[in-house]
Amino acid sequence: MADDNSKTNLPPLSLHVPEPKYRPGDKVDYSDVAIPNAGEQPRPDVSSEPAIMRDMVYDMVRVLDDDYKAVGPWDPKLSDDTLLKMLKTMAQVRAFDDRLHRMQRQGKTSFYMKCTGEEATSVAAAMALHSDDMCFPSYRQQGILFVRGYPMVDMINQIFSNREDKLKGRQLPIMYCSRDLGFFSISGNLATQYPQAVGWAMASAAKGDTRIAATWCGEGSTAEGDFHSAMTFATVYNAPIIMNIVNNQWAISSFSGFAGGERTTFAARAAGYGIAGLRVDGNDPLAVYAATQWAAERARTNNGPTLIEHFTYRAEAHSTSDDPGAYRSAQEREEWPLGDPITRLKRHLIHRGVWSKEQHEALDKECIEAVKVATKEAEKNGILGHGLHQPFETMFQDVFEEMPWHLKEQSEQANKEREIKWPNTEASQ
């Protein structure tokens, strides 16, 4: 053991606490963010060994160049119809977000989360998957449901937690679920969907099925233990899964450095686990589609899991419970170097000669009207505080196939207490 006297010349230890570069009122300068030229990234074969792809976790897959042309080996060469569907879906998601955000401010629901600026990470990704692939989303992937045709009215009923809410008021607003559309129940607990997704993918492989899984989380969630447990199982069992990290730079009030973003890219976590990793321009819908398509083929051909980091930016607040003006510069959104995914795809389609500014203005009006109609329809079923809720007894149902005796007793006791406290209220509301 060394003599304590030998330490007298050592400097005192210091603790590093990550600090964002810009705070409210600061001028923003993104010149240090390395944005490679579109089209320069190699596209390896889907059967490539992860070891030879390690440089890709520090690069960035990009397809749309500064002139909004699709270039390079990652260009998925999609048809005009497919690209127009992608654009229209993203526009519809944004219109939906804007109106439902206002509904929360009007007191018609308790909570809402927008995905403004991140639409490509769900819409383009979902379009690159098969319709029966299983999705395990986080709380900002509503675009998947739009791609798969889930009715807006049903989404709004869930947000209002009203009598037509298919989840019977048991979930926080915006935490949707659709078994028929392969959309796993959203959880507010960070990263729980990751091991669940890997387990589902392992089961699919064990059964000799053909369906793969895809899951999403924010960059902050990669600091959770569930994320790393999922990574271990995915690599050990070669699970057929795509693991998406949506790096939008901010958690609710802390920047990506608190999850390790100061040290390296989030895609680099793939290299540490020995799985394929890609870092993608998350505001380039064609790049997101191409990377997801590549990873899906890799999973489907038993070449293993892929981790994709979508480098993007959260343009709005984390949720209606958040004020980003308290912790980040107001300039960040305007200065973000990768632009806006809807604008970039719109300009690409105009460049292709299949779209115009006038058509896009008409599309925005059409999307706004569609959400307005759906909202009015859902409001008929009740909004927050208006009493048109699920029947009281449903809180005891759907846990067991046959209700056990102790839940029956609790249900009866609860109903008696309800009758005493609110004698003039119908038990079915």
**Enclosing H/E stretch for 159:** helix 152-160
Contact 140, 175 (CB under 8 A): no
Q: Do the domain assignments include residue 9?
A: no
Residues 6+ apart with CB under 8 A from 20: 255, 257, 327, 328
pLDDT digits (tens, 9 = 90+) for 18-28: 999 999 999 99
Residue 301, pLDDT score: 98
Mean pLDDT of the chain: 95
Closest to 254 in 3D by CA, of 14, 16, 23: 23
Task: Output the domain CATH number for residue 74.
Answer: 3.40.50.970
Q: Do the domain assignments include residue 7?
A: no
pLDDT digits (tens, 9 = 90+) for 132-188: 999 999 999 999 999 999 999 999 999 999 999 999 999 999 999 999 999 999 999
Helices 80-105 and 341-352 sit at what angle, rounded to 10 degrees?
150
Q: Do the domain assignments include residue 426?
A: no
Could you tell me the pTM of the whole model?
0.94
CA 142 to chain centre: 7
Q: Are residues 407 and 357 in the same domain?
A: no
Closest to 136 in 3D by CA, of 172, 93, 89, 178: 178
Residues 6+ apart with CB under 8 A from 382: 160, 162, 163, 164, 388, 389
Position 388 confidence tier, pLDDT thresholds 50, 70, 90 = confident
Question: Strand order of the sheet with strand 241-247?
Answer: 134-136, 213-218, 241-247, 306-311, 276-281
Q: What percent of the chain has pLDDT over 70?
A: 97
Say how far apart CA 21 and CA 27 lie, in whole Å: 10
Q: Are residues 290 and 243 in the same domain?
A: yes
Residue 115, pLDDT score: 98
Q: Are residues 141 and 235 in the same domain?
A: yes
Q: Are residues 323 and 365 in the same domain?
A: yes
Residue 419, pLDDT score: 86
Say how far apart CA 296 and CA 76 lie, in whole Å: 13
Give the domain range for residue 177.
50-379
Q: How wide is the angle at C-alpha 322 spanned by C-alphas 321 and 328, nearest 5°?
A: 180
**Enclosing H/E stretch for 311:** strand 306-311
Q: Are residues 266 and 411 in the same domain?
A: no
Say how far apart CA 103 and CA 97 lie, in whole Å: 10
pLDDT digits (tens, 9 = 90+) for 230-263: 999 999 999 999 999 999 999 988 999 999 999 9
The total number of structural domains that make up the chain:
2
Compute φ and ψ for 151, nearest 5 degrees: -65, 135
Q: Are residues 293 and 412 in the same domain?
A: no
Q: Do the domain assignments include residue 25?
A: no
Q: Which two tokens stand for residue 422?
A: 């609110």
Q: Are residues 335 and 281 in the same domain?
A: yes
Q: Are residues 324 and 230 in the same domain?
A: yes
